[in-house]
Amino acid sequence: MTLRRKLKLTIVVLLVLGLVAFGLFRRHSSRQVDKALDAIRAQGYPVTLEELDAWYEEPPPGENAADVLLEAYDASVEPWPEVQGVHHLLEQGTLVDRTAPLPPDVKRSIHEYLLVNAVALELTHEGLAMPHCRWPIQCQREDEIEVPWHSKVLRHDELLKLEAILSAEDGDAERACQAMLGTLGLARTLSRVPLPGAYFGRARCLRRGVRALERVLNRIPLTEEQLARLDMALSESEDIGSLRRKIVGERCITVDFARAAPLDAKAPWRLGEPPVLDVLFRAFFRQTGLMEHGLASYLESSQAILDALEMPFPEQHERLEQITPSFALALLGVGVESFNMACRHQSDVAELRAAQLAVAVERYRLAHGVLPEDANALVSEFIESIPEEPCLHEPIRYKQLPSGYVTYSIGSDKEDDGGVEKEKEYMAWVSGDITFTVERK
């Protein structure tokens, strides 16, 4: 056999072996995915968008809070620019000092805005008193999912926060308490929505509720009964099940994108139509089996996240730090929100726990007429135990100030900055703590 014929034969053999290896790789990746999906179904979780839609339970007829809340939105009036500016400054905490009264023109603007939305507010409170809620979504392919209710939820949240702040200015503690419970209740209506976007909407509602509580406690004292209600609502708001449902929803969307969606479908979490290069990448990934391989890796990591969420803090935090996302799918813009939500959840819990400790401090002050010397004085009578930091085995901090006090979490950087508030919250690289400050004398 001549050298040329040997070379040709070698090339043919290598090509055949390559094709066989390529086929085995695709088959192995596909079987890995099928096996993982069967295991997920065996746990009682959905894996397709149709199954996800059925998993989001429909309340009995006439018992869906979303119907009343959407009616409230239709009855509401959009804030005019002056009110939007006021609300933005209140969000940033730059309008007035915590303990200072609102300027007369600001108070008047908020009062007028709430007055024209009186019917909407009444309906909002009526809807939030109902135990069941399913927002009108259809869990379809990501580029077809419409969530017009999302902006409507934020409108309700805005109204409730302004109602709490204005009520505190007027000295109406019960109305302020009801409004703050309303913001936490609004977050609860998003708990069962199995879409990742609802997690961040829920987190925003919780944060506004906590910030409204901070403003109210800086202006007026609340009664023991009101503080007890707020304590219970804050405790219930941690709700790890809500995060779990969002991750399950992302998993269904990612499976659909990787296996069933057209090549030119919009990638989840990306805006606009996909560029041509994205379409070519997807075609290449599907034809080579890299998409199935990446999906198998993603399913493994998403299950690892769900398993980590079963752990207590801070073991949960430590386990999440060990999990890495699927590079192949992350390159295409999918399968990344699980990590973002799990990391954000730790900051959300820290903020809720700092607020819960502050409520216990207020209950102590109401009973004894002075602030506690340290947080241990609160245990048993005003709080079962001092809440722990989500990221390490240490309690949430309490520190007296020259006027008032601050409760705070040191955050994921694990550096105690002495209760100095972060300039930009939820950014791990920005120094500062997650704080709840009350300077009322």
Q: Cα–Cα distance between 60 and 67 in angstroms, integer?
A: 12
Q: Which helix (H) or strand (E) holds 419?
A: none
Q: Cα–Cα distance between 239 and 318 in angstroms, integer?
A: 20
Q: Cα–Cα distance between 109 and 10 in angstroms, integer?
A: 83
User: Would strands 404-409 and 397-401 be described as parallel, antiparallel, or unpaired?
Assistant: antiparallel
Q: Where does residue 18 rank: exposed (0-12), middle (13-18), buried (19+ CB within 10 A)?
A: exposed
Helix ranges (H only) for 224-314 are 224-236, 240-259, 276-288, 290-309
- The CA-atom distances, in angstroms, between 135 and each of 67, 132, 149, 210, 255 are 8, 10, 7, 24, 23
Asked whether 241 and 386 are in contact (CB, 8 A), the reply is no
Kindly report the backbone phi and psi dihedral angles of residue 438, in degrees, each rounded to the nearest multiple of 5, phi listed first: -125, 120
Domain segments of the chain as ranges: 23-55+244-335, 56-238
- The CA-atom distances, in angstroms, between 196 and each of 200, 264, 340, 370 are 7, 22, 10, 44
Kindly report the backbone phi and psi dihedral angles of residue 109, in degrees, each rounded to the nearest multiple of 5, phi listed first: -60, -45
List strand residue ranges (DSSP E) for 278-386, in order: none
Predicted pLDDT at 11: 67
Q: Cα–Cα distance between 11 and 8 in angstroms, integer?
A: 5
Predicted pLDDT at 272: 47
Asked whether 177 and 222 are in contact (CB, 8 A), the reply is yes
Give the residue among 402, 441, 407 at the shortest CA–CA distance from 210. Answer: 407
Give per-10-residue mean pLDDT for the chain (441 aa). Answer: 67 63 70 92 93 92 93 88 70 69 89 94 96 83 53 86 94 97 94 88 91 95 97 94 92 85 57 59 76 86 91 87 75 73 89 97 96 94 93 93 94 86 59 90 81
